[in-house]
Amino acid sequence: MPARYPRTIRFGMSIALCCGSFGSSGAQAGPPEEKPVTRLQDAQSAVDAIWTTLPLSGEHAMFVSEKALLFGAYTPRPTSTFKPGETLLTYIEPVGYAWAPAADGLFAFGVSLDFEILTPDGKILAGQKNFLSYATASHAKVKELMLTASLNLDGFPAGSYVLHYTLRDLESPKIADIALPFQIAD
């Protein structure tokens, strides 16, 4: 008899943004010995230029043991095996998203996330488009953005699955796929 899957999945989300950016207003006048931050701003401008050439990706995409409170402050889960009804908590650092000029000299940016639960051979069992979305604007070209998503798969039987995320840039047509295989075991 085929396994029965739930009709609803409970999920949660959180997004954090680190505010410690150096900005991107360009170099200040004066030699570096007078204004040491000028060298830092020049380096940041070079990083900004490289960032714009990157494809969108989900760096450090993984199952985690607890919700991260800060960018980079995650605890990887030691295994991708879950008990029935246990929450799947994931951490993702989007990289390569675009910034668009906005009002008052701000830079708009953001991402959205779709999810699907798949069998190992690709059959879709559940999913939702745009289940997490984050958009904001900043004076800085922020690069420290993290997503934490939680899914509770109550009713899914023991077996192997794949959590598939589609990460979408809200300011460009860039899209990234993230696949996290996992198991539910009794």
Tell me the CA end-to-end span of the chain in Å, nearest whole number: 19
Q: What is the pLDDT of residues 103-126, one digit of tens each?
A: 999 999 999 999 999 999 999 999
State the chain's mean pLDDT as an integer.
86
The pLDDT value recorded for residue 155 is 87
Q: Is residue 42 part of a domain?
A: no
Q: Which residues span the domain enclosing 130?
A: 10-22+55-184
- The enclosing domain of 109 has a CATH number of 2.60.40.3880
β-strand partners of 100: 108
The pLDDT value recorded for residue 79 is 96
Q: Is residue 69 part of a domain?
A: yes
Q: Is a pLDDT exceeding 50 seen at residue 63?
A: yes
Q: Is residue 99 part of a domain?
A: yes
Q: Is residue 98 part of a domain?
A: yes
Tokens of residue 74, six digits: 């995650």
Residue 57 · residue 176 · CB < 8 Å: yes
SS3 43: helix
Number of folded domains in the chain? Answer: 1
Q: Is residue 116 part of a domain?
A: yes
